[in-house]
Amino acid sequence: MSNKDQIQRFMFENLGARGQLVGLNDSFREATANHEYPATIQQLLGEFMTAATLLSTTIKFKGSLTLQAQGDGDLSLIMAECRHDQDVRGIARWEGEGEPENTGFQALLGNGRMAVTITPDKGQRYQGIVALEGDSLAACIENYFEQSEQLQTRVWLTTEPGFCASGLLIQVLPQEQGAVEDADGWSRICQLSDTLSNKELTTLSNDDILHRLYHEEMVRVFPASDVQFKCTCSAYRTLEAIVSMGKDEIQEIFTEQPQITVRCEFCNAGYEVTQADIDQHLSDTDEASSSQTLH
Ligand SMILES: [Zn+2]
């Protein structure tokens, strides 16, 4: 998928289906640079980041989509988040040293569930839950679309640890399900897509992949958009998180130490917060809310 960080949308003109290709290079390397992930976990994290980017195109407003799985296996949490403008980040937490013994998707996570959460910058968040069924993240995502949106979907994901992560998604358009004249079209493009090797998905350009798979289909290709690693942490958000702990707890911390140091798990940025910062933040937010009521 060359070495660009991009998402490429396309449409099967006569089949009532759409598709997307995602390649993460720098963004994947930046997201994993500050963590010493075992290769197996890095591999799955690459898949999560790719899948979150593929799913982020379903957001129709400013906000984020989070894909998060929790289980009772060695891997206790894995999550990736992608915003409407394709800022992506991701993280994993695991137990033990070195490579996990059980490396399959279900073995790593154990019994658990996966949540797809869509959080608008303004408004209500929406969450869909999927059981961790099928021994891959791709199978879970396919189940998610089947259950939540009744949309036939196929997903292919692959990661080269330390290097890049790539993915392909094809999906029947909601209004077209069952109404397309070419009844074999969907199963045909599924079979064609199944012939793509992980190596091809990782190394070929988008044009080459689309030509290699679908040169006998009518495919309309849209301009690609850039994807980048970007963290949403900030001094303001750090203060908000500390304030939400409640006055008593904050006071207790400050009697033991002069400042609270918070390190962002995603990007490793550090924030140092003193009692004076908290007081300033509280008076700023008070001012902002009272001026809102006045005007
Ligand atoms: Zn951060």
Residue listed under structure tokens 């259950």:
147
Task: Supply the pLDDT for residue 1.
Answer: 47
Q: Are 73 and 110 in contact (CB under 8 A)?
A: yes
Task: Supply the pLDDT for residue 51.
Answer: 97
Task: Supply the pLDDT for residue 291.
Answer: 66
pTM of the model as a whole: 0.90
Angle, helices 235-243 vs 275-294, to 10°: value is 90
Kindly give the distance from the C-alpha atom of residue 83 to the centroid of ligand 1, in angstroms, as a whole number.
14
Task: Supply the pLDDT for residue 2.
Answer: 52
Average pLDDT for residues 181-195, to the nearest whole number?
91
C-alpha 193: how far from chain center: 22
Q: What is the pLDDT of residues 93-119, one digit of tens each?
A: 988 888 887 778 888 888 888 999 999
Task: Supply the pLDDT for residue 261.
Answer: 92
| Cα 36 to Cα 29, 206, 223, distances in angstroms | 12, 31, 35
Kindly give the distance from the C-alpha atom of residue 162 to the centroid of ligand 1, in angstroms, as a whole number.
20
Task: Check pLDDT > 80 for residue 45.
Answer: yes
Q: Return the higher-pLDDT residue of 287 and 163.
A: 163
Q: Are 4 and 155 in contact (CB under 8 A)?
A: no
Q: What is the pLDDT of residues 214-228, one digit of tens each?
A: 999 999 999 999 999
| pLDDT above 70 as % of the chain | 95
In the DSSP assignment, the letter for residue 61 is S
| Cα 155 to Cα 20, 143, 145, 260, 289, distances in angstroms | 10, 10, 11, 43, 46
Q: What is the pLDDT of residues 147-180, one digit of tens each?
A: 888 899 999 999 999 999 999 999 999 876 556 6
Kindly give the distance from the C-alpha atom of residue 68 to the centroid of ligand 1, in angstroms, as a whole number.
17
Kindly give the distance from the C-alpha atom of residue 32 to the centroid of ligand 1, in angstroms, as a whole number.
12
Kindly give the distance from the C-alpha atom of residue 263 to the centroid of ligand 1, in angstroms, as a whole number.
8
Cα–Cα dist 127/7, whole Å: 24
